[in-house]
Homo-oligomer: A and B are copies of this chain.
Amino acid sequence: MRVLSLFIAASLDGYIAKPDDDLSFLKLVEKEGEDYGYAAFTSTIDTIILGRRTYDWVLEKIGASYYDNGERNVYVITGTERPDVGKTKFYTGDLTELVRQLKTESGKNIYCDGGAEIINELLKNDLIDEFVISVIPVLVGNGTRLFKDNRPEQQLELVNTKTFDTGLTQLHYKRKR
């Protein structure tokens, strides 16, 4: 069955953004030629799920091709219908149903790129199979937490850890079944 993975960076104190969607702390680990395994990871997936706010943020800051390279299916979870753009669909239905359906289909793996609301909704329904969390060596002190309160307990299995000379530590877990 297809695996649904997170691949995300967080500060040691557990934030994926500072207030006002400020991601400037990621610059602490920017290094020419070092993508922390992102290209290798995305070569294993053909489907991306993300929230509408994250999508619009990336659309403005980076451009739509960051997600939709013409080959992947992109599902933007939203309450408001929008017409498809290329292979990007705006999905207004039930997130859990979408993921359960996608997992039964054949294909490469599925990547959830956030935001926190989507991730926590998936966690509440035990739908995330693998976690690749890049821990940035900083306490940002405030912002958007990767893990919100009030989720069910879930045991994990450590797959591996990788340490980089920038101080980034990548923790890779899979869900225990």
CB contact between A161 and one of B18, B123, B157, B161 (< 8 Å): that residue:
B161
Chain B residues near A58 (CB-CB < 8 A): none
Q: Which of B28, B146, B155 contacts A155 (CB 8 A)?
A: B28
| Bound complex: CA A171 to CA B12 (Å) | 9
Residue of B12, B146, B147 touching A131 (CB-CB under 8 A): B12
**Interface residue A54 (Cβ < 8 Å from any Cβ of B):** no
Give the contacts of A152-177 with B (CB-CB under 8 A): 152-158, 160-161, 163, 167-169, 171, 173
Q: Chain A, interface size: which category?
A: 35 or more
Chain A to chain B contacts (Cβ below 8 Å), 21 pairs = A12-B147, A12-B156, A12-B171, A18-B153, A25-B153, A28-B155, A123-B139, A135-B171, A137-B157, A138-B154, A138-B155, A141-B150, A141-B151, A141-B154, A142-B150, A142-B151, A158-B167, A158-B168, A158-B169, A161-B161, A161-B169
- A interface vs B, CB < 8 Å? 12-14, 18, 25, 28, 123, 131, 133, 135, 137-142, 145-147, 149-158, 160-161, 163, 167-169, 171, 173
